[in-house]
Amino acid sequence: MDLNSVGTLADRQTYREALVAFFTPYQAELDPDSQDRLTRNPLRILDSKDERTQAIAQDAPSILDYLSPDSQKHFDRVRQLLADLGISYQLNPRLVRGLDYYTHTAFEIISDDLGAQSTVCGGGRYDGLVVELGGPDTPAVGWAIGLERLILLLQQQSLAPAAVDFYLVSRGDRAEAQALKLSQTLRQLGFAAELDLSGSAFGKQFKRADRSGAVACLILGDAEAESETVQIKWLKSGEQEAIAQSDLSAKSDDLRRRITDFREGT
């Protein structure tokens, strides 16, 4: 996965000015599309496939040098969450989005199994999109997937939908970060885990847990986040217990047996 931050609209405006100043002396050497973009949308020059333009752009300023302290803090947290989940990525300062509704994170998911057309999914954070469409100021995230490329990848794998074992509910920034990490741990242990990051009241999240068909619900609130524990509620019986988050891996065999017993009605 390639990862970058495009900052805020104010960050990007400052960066655009730096790009215009950098590329203007090379204007005659740029490809026609990039010459047109120089004053309209200079960030798109970094996307050019023209070899000469690419060579010039190698020395262009990096947007990471133009992030405000708040934007840098946001990007550091995104990177830390990815590290906590064990998700590898490569920093790509040339990965930018020229659309004004993009803010902060931009990413592309890339596969080595598709040849030259390696990008499967690309997107980012869209804090400005809902406002641009006439709605209220609303944080958002979105992406576009190449369906044909995704189908090619799926055809190379044997994937079947799995019944949900655990449904994770949480509230609060710290609890949500821990729930995100626990969901990844559970999946690595072979469990089917669904994560609720809606931030809504626990009651609403519990209703979604019931509808999901999950066998058990993992609950993290402020108290659990502080003590680094998690509440396990077995939805069929209503039984609830607290265990240390660090014990999930050690208890995985017992949890798997209990899930099997509940599914078989024993």
Q: Write the pLDDT tens digit of every residue in 76-134.
A: 999 999 998 888 999 999 888 767 788 999 999 888 766 666 788 899 999 888 988 99
- Does the pLDDT at position 247 exceed 90? yes
* pLDDT, average across residues 257-265: 87
pLDDT-above-90 percentage for the chain: 68
- Does the pLDDT at position 159 exceed 80? no
Report the pLDDT value the prediction gives residue 116, as an integer from 0 to 100.
Answer: 63
From 112, 144, 102, 96, select the one nearest 1 (Cα to Cα): 112
Domain map (residue ranges) of the chain: 7-65, 69-155, 166-264
Per-residue pLDDT band for 63 (boundaries 50, 70, 90) equals very high
Per-residue pLDDT band for 135 (boundaries 50, 70, 90) equals very high
**Cβ-defined contacts of 28-34 (< 8 Å, 24+):** 29/53, 29/56, 30/56
* pLDDT, average across residues 232-249: 92
Q: Which residue has the higher pLDDT, 97 or 34?
A: 34
**Token reading at 97:** 């989005």
CATH entry, 166-264, from 3.40.50.800, 1.25.40.10, 3.20.20.10, 3.40.50.970:
3.40.50.800
Could you count the other beta carbons within 10 Å of the beta carbon of residue 201?
A: 11
pLDDT-above-70 percentage for the chain: 95
Question: Strand 193-195 to strand 166-170: parallel, antiparallel, or no bridges (unpaired)?
Answer: parallel
Cα–Cα distance measured from residue 91 to residue 218, given in angstroms and rounded to the nearest whole number: 33
- Does the pLDDT at position 186 exceed 70? yes
Per-residue pLDDT band for 34 (boundaries 50, 70, 90) equals very high
80 in helix, strand or coil? helix
Q: What is the dihedral of CA 185, 186, 189, 190, to 10 degrees?
A: -140
Cα–Cα distance measured from residue 15 to residue 46, given in angstroms and rounded to the nearest whole number: 12
Question: Rounded to 5 degrees, what angle do the CA atoms 242, 243, 247 make?
Answer: 170
Report the pLDDT value the prediction gives residue 22, as an integer from 0 to 100.
Answer: 96
Contact 128, 138 (CB under 8 A): no
Cα–Cα distance measured from residue 174 to residue 172, given in angstroms and rounded to the nearest whole number: 6
Residues 6+ apart with CB under 8 A from 45: 19, 23, 30, 34, 37, 38, 53, 57, 60
Q: Which residue has the higher pLDDT, 161 or 151?
A: 151
- Does the pLDDT at position 157 exceed 80? no
Q: Which residue has the higher pLDDT, 28 or 148?
A: 28
* pLDDT, average across residues 7-17: 92
Cα–Cα distance measured from residue 74 to residue 65, given in angstroms and rounded to the nearest whole number: 14
Residues 6+ apart with CB under 8 A from 160: none
**Token reading at 201:** 């009241």
- Does the pTM surpass 0.75? The reply is no
